């Protein structure tokens, strides 16, 4: 081999060694960083954290408990009387308490007031002075109330649409005045 070929070979070998050493110096820190990243990621857990898992577990239990509830609709959920009170006193107001006496309406006929009362599912049309068995005597009816004597007490039952909703005991002196 000529000296020229030997020189080229020597230069190629030295250049290769230099390239390998330079590449090693460049790749060694990168490899070290890669190893650090691998070490850190080995402890990393993918997915949800414990608090979120607990919340999800609680919500799943609640959903399972709710599936045990059974809801039953009334026999006729689309009836108009479930929403509106009709002229005969039937409707949502009549289902509040079936054992309570309620004034369905008060109307004036031939210059005297009359009332329609609901008691335990029965409808009574009354005027002042009427007596209803097992309920009491109607003392007075005006545009805002019906006054009845029940069990030796005077009770004022409000008309629908007034501010009061429940019966109120009154004194005998106030029964005929407008102070009630």
What is the C-alpha to C-alpha distance for residues 116 and 102, in angstroms, rounded to an integer?
A: 9
Lowest mean pLDDT among 44-48, 62-66, 159-163: 44-48
Average pLDDT, the chain: 82
Helix (H) or strand (E) holding 117: strand 112-119
**Pair 61, 106 in one domain:** no
Q: Residues 104, 125: contact at Cβ < 8 Å? A: no
Given pLDDT bands bounded at 50, 70 and 90, which one contains residue 28?
confident
Residue 83 lies in a domain: no
Q: Which CATH number does the domain housing residue 115 bear? A: 2.30.30.830
Q: How many CA atoms lie within 13 A of 53 on its CB side?
A: 5
Look at residues 126, 64, 72, 67 and name the one whose alpha carbon lies nearest to residue 101. 126
> 99-120: per-residue pLDDT in tens?
578 888 999 888 899 999 988 8
**Share of residues in the chain with pLDDT > 90 (%):** 33
Residue 91 lies in a domain: no
Q: For residue 101, what are its two tokens?
A: 């006496």
Residue 75 lies in a domain: no
| CA-to-CA separations, 83 to 31, 76, 90, in angstroms, rounded | 77, 12, 10
Residue 84 lies in a domain: no
Domain count, the chain: 2
Q: Give just the sign of the alpha carbon dihedral 122, 163, 170, 112.
A: negative
What is the C-alpha to C-alpha distance for residues 156 and 130, in angstroms, rounded to an integer?
A: 15
- Predicted confidence at residue 91, as pLDDT, reads 59
Q: For residue 3, what are its two tokens?
A: 């000296």
- Predicted confidence at residue 180, as pLDDT, reads 47
Q: Is the pTM of this model over 0.75?
A: no
> 118-154: per-residue pLDDT in tens?
888 889 999 999 999 888 999 999 989 999 998 888 9
């Amino acid at each position: 081999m000529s000296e020229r070929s030997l020189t080229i070979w020597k230069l190629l070998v030295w250049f290769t060694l230099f390239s390998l050493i330079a590449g090693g110096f460049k790749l060694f820190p990168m490899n070290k960083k890669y190893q650090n990243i691998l070490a850190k990621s080995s402890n990393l857990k993918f997915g949800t954290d414990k608090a979120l898992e607990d919340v999800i577990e609680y919500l799943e239990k609640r959903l399972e408990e709710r599936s045990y509830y059974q809801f039953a609709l009334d026999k006729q959920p689309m009836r108009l009387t479930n929403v509106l009170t009709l002229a005969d006193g039937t409707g949502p107001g009549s289902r509040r308490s079936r054992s309570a006496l309620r004034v369905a309406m008060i109307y004036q006929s031939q210059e005297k007031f009359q009332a329609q009362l609901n008691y335990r599912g029965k409808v009574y049309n009354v005027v002042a002075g009427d007596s209803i068995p097992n309920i009491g005597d109607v003392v007075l009816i005006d545009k805002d109330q019906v006054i009845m004597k029940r069990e030796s007490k005077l009770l004022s039952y409000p008309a629908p649409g007034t501010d009061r909703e429940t019966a109120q005991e009154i004194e005998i002196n106030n029964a005929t005045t407008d102070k009630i």
